[in-house]
Structure 1
Amino acid sequence: MQQDVEIMNLNPRDQQIFSAVMSLYCNGEGQPVASSRIAKQKGMAVCSATVRNAMSRLEKIGLLYSPHTSAGRVPTNAGFDYWLNEFFPLTEIAQYWQPAQAQLVEMAHGISQRYQVCCCVGLPQVSSQQVFRVEVLDFDGNDWLILLLDRAGQSHNICIHKPDDASDTIRYQFATWLNTVFSQQTLMEGLYRMQAMANTAPRNCHDSLNQWTRELSQKLGSDNSIVVGENYLYRQIDCEQSLNIGVSFLNFVEDKLAFKNGVSVLNTAQLPFTDCDELMVISVPYFQNHEYQSRFCVICPKSAQIEAIIQEFKLIESPDS
């Protein structure tokens, strides 16, 4: 409790020096920050001795620590928590973000490549997506690939087993029938229509329709996600086991951050990666028509460019702006 009081009562100079340590450490390299480096920062106007005294005070109250003698300081988990809570208006950033799926995918790839981090994104709930066109492609020896496209050209791709007669003629007939069934319908309504209009389907497809309908229903009703840049994590961190990043990870984050809007950060102790203490997660929920859909998560080393990543979300316009 005494330590918490001391943290809350940091004087402005110590706060400025602490903020400089955090910015220099979270630059993608994660090297201990020396007092001489702080003193040379533009706008500091303090000598190295003053910085050393301040860093000693910050270490005493648990915000910084020295990994080696005379090696400079690095932030503790408590230091990260204090920095993020005190220096960033996280809950005010990206409130009620309502992106299109294309924006989600583009942003995931962009952030991952720019900052060498991993992005895990839950895809929008698809059952209410309206279908504009259906294509049936010859995928391989066993399957056809169905593309359910919306007006923006985004598709939901589903493999189904071929019927006994899988000639191109039958495939074209089946694609024509699916376009009749799904035209201007939501995905869920299209599934109902597949069952109701089964007797109008190409005769060679009748035996497979129940199976296809079931497969489509399972696919469209299941959670889905994309993971981009997972390889960056394994290059930068010491982790003995592979990280389970995907739908189960998103479910974990959703449970942790239920009802929290804006940007949230999960620090090491709050994550399910038991054998890895070098990661944090920056997470933002997104919506459609103000209805919660899923989360956009950045999984990164604590030395990543945290400020710049948060700024990416700060640039997102609110729906009312």
Structure 2
Amino acid sequence: MNSLETRKFNLIYDVMKLSARDKQVFSAVMSLYCNGEGHPVASSKIAKLKGMAVCSATVRNAMARLENQGLLFSPHTSAGRVPSDQGIKYWLQEYFGLEEIAPYWEPEREQLTGFAHTLSQKYQVCCIVGLPQVSEQTIFRVEVLDFDRKHWLVLLIDRTGQSNNILINKPESNSDPVRYQFAAWMNTVFSQQTLKEGLHRMRAMAKSAMADCRGSLMQWSRELSLQLGTDNSIVVGERYLYNRLEGHNELNLGVSFLHQVEDRLALKNGLSVLLGSELSYLNLERFVVLSVPYFTASEYQSRFCVICPADAPIEAIISEFTQIPKKEA
């Protein structure tokens, strides 16, 4: 979907006014369609729902009005109705108060990955998560190992034992004593510091390093900056996505997908929704992307995205996000 179509969508939302009856019927259609099966919804089925208290003819009239509004359509002659792309987005944006769900989310990394696996397995959807910037990781200790003839391996280890492993070129005067001294100096620089602060200290404290290593410090700090600043992500449940797609062309999921979502949802907090047709993946028609930005110490990190078919149990997925505690002011 191009920007002109998006503006048309937004304009339609601004002027669209549904009666209480039409809203009730529309909500019923959406709940019956978005249940994991995606069958067209018949008026007789809605009329039998508890609390409707209307006949099939009244429901049919309401569904006809909703079809004229562009929210529903009939996929076959004499078939029930299904939501249009416009209807799906209108339903999600107007009925759920998305911006109030999971605002300023500050999860731990384990919570991010655990939540992605839970949603993927429970609802058979694909989750894409931008990983926290490693530059904010606090270092507990540094080890420098003799890796091969040309390289030392620097291990920047946090308190959980996880490490960022970086290869750097050996100095000309390479020896075990020089390596041990360099490791001790790196611990002085990085211990109890974030990677970002450690890199800053590495440059600022260059004159305190042993003479044998000073000539290489600029190169090493540049290599560390480049490697630690690399975008990264995890993708969970991509098989569920590919099983629903027509054809066998794989999508370029991961960081490039997250960048597209960020371009569309820049500065939006809380839960947001995009249609697959609003992204440049032509075979994501009839898919919905739910996305929440997350933060560390109030600083934006990346996004948590769920790609689900339009007929997935979207209400249940959204309810999972409502369980995320709101940050206290």
What's the TM-score once normalised by structure 1's chain length?
Answer: 0.82
Matching residue within 245, 249, 260 for 2:268: 260
Whole-angstrom CA distance in 2 between matches of 1:42 and 1:163 = 74
Matched, 1:116 2:146: no
Whole-angstrom CA distance in 1 between matches of 2:323 and 2:87 = 26
Q: Is the 8 A contact 2:89 2:274 kept in 1?
A: no
Using the TM superposition, name which of 129-138 and 211-220 deviates more.
129-138
CA displacement at 1:235 relative to structure 2:
0.7
Matching residue within 28, 43, 65 for 2:36: 28
Matching residue within 287, 298, 303 for 1:295: 303
Whole-angstrom CA distance in 2 between matches of 1:291 and 1:63 = 38
Matched, 1:47 2:40: no
- The one-letter code sitting in structure 1 at the alignment partner of 2:118 is G
Using the TM superposition, name which of 36-45 and 87-96 deviates more.
36-45
1:184/1:22 Cα in 2 relative to 1: closer, same or farther (>3 Å)?
A: same
Report the secondary structure of 2:135's partner residue.
coil
Instruction: Give the fraction of aligned pairs with identical amino acids, expressed as a percent.
Output: 62
Whole-angstrom CA distance in 1 between matches of 2:151 and 2:16 = 62
Matching residue within 245, 256, 259 for 2:253: 245
Report the secondary structure of 1:127's partner residue.
helix
CA displacement at 1:273 relative to structure 2:
0.7
1:267/1:141 Cα in 2 relative to 1: closer, same or farther (>3 Å)?
A: farther
Aligned partner of 1:269 in structure 2 is 277
CA displacement at 1:265 relative to structure 2:
0.6
Aligned partner of 1:155 in structure 2 is 162
Report the secondary structure of 2:253's partner residue.
coil
Where do 1:134-213 residues align within 5 Å? 134=142, 148-151=156-159, 153=160, 155-160=162-167, 178-192=186-200, 196=206, 200=210, 213=221
- Unpaired runs of 5+ residues, structure 1, are none
Whole-angstrom CA distance in 1 between matches of 2:290 and 2:80 = 26
- The one-letter code sitting in structure 2 at the alignment partner of 1:31 is H
CA displacement at 1:136 relative to structure 2:
6.9
Whole-angstrom CA distance in 2 between matches of 1:96 and 1:198 = 41
Q: Is the 8 A contact 1:239 1:276 kept in 2?
A: no
CA displacement at 1:154 relative to structure 2:
6.9
Aligned length in residues: 317
CA displacement at 1:15 relative to structure 2:
1.1
Aligned partner of 1:75 in structure 2 is 83
Aligned partner of 1:308 in structure 2 is 316
Q: Is the 8 A contact 2:129 2:235 kept in 1?
A: yes
CA displacement at 1:55 relative to structure 2:
1.7
Whole-angstrom CA distance in 2 between matches of 1:178 and 1:126 = 18
Whole-angstrom CA distance in 1 between matches of 2:187 and 2:151 = 19
1:41/1:125 Cα in 2 relative to 1: closer, same or farther (>3 Å)?
A: same
CA displacement at 1:65 relative to structure 2:
0.7
1:179/1:113 Cα in 2 relative to 1: closer, same or farther (>3 Å)?
A: farther
Q: Is the 8 A contact 1:118 1:298 kept in 2?
A: yes
Using the TM superposition, name which of 227-236 and 275-284 deviates more.
275-284
Matching residue within 1, 7, 11 for 2:19: 11
Aligned partner of 2:4 in structure 1 is none
- The one-letter code sitting in structure 2 at the alignment partner of 1:319 is K
Using the TM superposition, name which of 9-18 and 235-244 deviates more.
235-244
Matching residue within 62, 70, 76 for 1:62: 70
- Unpaired runs of 5+ residues, structure 2, are 1-7
Q: Is the 8 A contact 1:35 1:48 kept in 2?
A: yes
Whole-angstrom CA distance in 2 between matches of 1:121 and 1:317 = 19
Whole-angstrom CA distance in 2 between matches of 1:133 and 1:311 = 41
Report the secondary structure of 1:297's partner residue.
strand
Whole-angstrom CA distance in 2 between matches of 1:264 and 1:140 = 48
Whole-angstrom CA distance in 2 between matches of 1:44 and 1:146 = 67
Whole-angstrom CA distance in 1 between matches of 2:223 and 2:293 = 29
What's the TM-score once normalised by structure 2's chain length?
Answer: 0.80
Using the TM superposition, name which of 210-219 and 240-249 deviates more.
210-219
- The one-letter code sitting in structure 2 at the alignment partner of 1:183 is S
Matched, 1:228 2:236: yes
Whole-angstrom CA distance in 1 between matches of 2:50 and 2:145 = 60
CA displacement at 1:143 relative to structure 2:
8.7
1:308/1:170 Cα in 2 relative to 1: closer, same or farther (>3 Å)?
A: farther
> What per-residue deviation string (whole Å, max 9, x for no partner) do you get for residues 158-195 of structure 1?
3537969x9x9999998776545422122133335556
1:140/1:285 Cα in 2 relative to 1: closer, same or farther (>3 Å)?
A: farther
